[in-house]
């Protein structure tokens, strides 16, 4: 028996990076997967093709996670296509790094709306079907930066710290309905997002990581599989770091 056999998962931002690894791992563990992307239609098609397994449904949806109405349309469509929804992974996220002195209102709003408001948008929509099923697992993608803060990332750190508080609150609200909610907080993971960083910043991170390497997307996805599965049945309201001991 696979860990997520016959479960239906909705994963935001599944076209690249950690989200694409989430799709792969969830399918390996027997889940049917609906995933979203913002604009990378070709990458989304590639993710579907690479993970095609007989008996498993994988569907991609173009949907802006920061848009409340789009989240409602998306969840209704997924419920129509898959019949139920057991797991939500709010993974979609962006950075727009700069020191606060230079940060524009637009850079602040964009990051907060994409990273934090999206979590509100999607959670709002899945609660009713999960309450009806008396079962649900929600995983929100945070970051260790939401715990430690980081110069040049006030918008990003605020969005990720907000996710941690949101997750703890939802876990307390929904515990009696058997809906669990946890934050996964990656450290430095090799993806397009971290490719943007200059060599000096990468070396500075590496020097401070006790495991002496950057993380892989699949290593974050493995923790999400565990939390989404019955193996994590008594874990809710927690922030689980996946960071090679960068923070302890």
Q: Closest separation between CB of residue 205 and ligand NAP, Å?
A: 9
Alpha-carbon span 108 to 168, nearest angstrom: 24
Alpha-carbon distances, residue 154 vs 41, 162, 192, 214 (angstroms): 30, 12, 20, 23
What does the CA dihedral 21, 47, 86, 37 come to, rounded to 10 degrees?
Answer: 100
Among 188, 228, 229, 246, binds ligand NAP (CB under 6 A): 188
Cβ neighbours for 42, distance < 8 A, ≥ 6 positions apart:
none
Residue 86 is a binding residue for ligand NAP (CB under 6 A): no
Contact stretch for ligand NAP (CB under 6 A) within 58-66, 76-84, 99-107, 171-179: 58-66
Contact stretch for ligand NAP (CB under 6 A) within 130-138, 190-198, 205-213, 229-237: 190-198
Q: Closest separation between CB of residue 143 and ligand NAP, Å?
A: 4
Q: Closest separation between CB of residue 26 and ligand NAP, Å?
A: 15
Nearest 5°: the CA angle 209, 215, 220 is: 125
Alpha-carbon span 50 to 55, nearest angstrom: 15
Are 235 and 168 a contacting pair, CB within 8 Å? Answer: no
Task: Choose, from 37, 61, 156, 205, the residue flagged as catalytic.
Answer: 156
Residue 186 is a binding residue for ligand NAP (CB under 6 A): yes
Q: Closest separation between CB of residue 110 and ligand NAP, Å?
A: 9
**Residues of this chain that bind ligand NAP (CB under 6 A):** 12-19, 36-40, 43, 64-66, 91-94, 114, 141, 143, 186, 188-189, 191-194
- Supply the residues annotated as catalytic: 156
């Amino acid at each position: 028996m696979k860990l997520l056999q016959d479960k239906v998962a909705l994963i935001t931002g599944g076209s690249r990076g950690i989200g694409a690894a989430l799709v792969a791992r969830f399918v390996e563990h027997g889940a049917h997967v609906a995933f979203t992307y913002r604009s990378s239609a070709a990458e989304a098609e590639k993710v579907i093709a690479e993970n095609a397994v007989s008996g498993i449904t994988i569907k991609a949806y173009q949907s802006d996670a920061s848009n409340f109405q789009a989240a409602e349309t998306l969840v209704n469509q997924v419920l129509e296509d898959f019949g139920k929804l057991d797991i939500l992974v709010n993974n979609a996220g962006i950075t727009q790094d700069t020191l606060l002195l230079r940060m524009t209102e637009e850079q602040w709003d964009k990051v907060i709306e994409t990273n934090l408001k999206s979590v509100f948008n999607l959670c709002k929509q899945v609660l009713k079907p999960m309450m009806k099923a008396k079962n649900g697992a929600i995983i929100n993608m945070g970051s260790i930066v939401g715990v430690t803060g980081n110069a040049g990332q006030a918008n990003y750190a605020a969005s990720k710290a907000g996710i941690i508080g949101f997750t703890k609150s939802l876990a307390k609200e929904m515990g009696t309905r058997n809906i669990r909610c946890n934050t996964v907080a990656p450290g430095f993971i090799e993806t397009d997002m971290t490719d943007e960083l200059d060599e000096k910043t990468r070396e500075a991170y590496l020097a401070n990581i006790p495991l002496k390497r950057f993380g892989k997307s699949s290593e974050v996805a493995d923790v999400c599989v565990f939390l989404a599965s019955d193996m994590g049945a008594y874990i809710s309201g927690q922030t689980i770091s996946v960071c090679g001991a960068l923070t302890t």
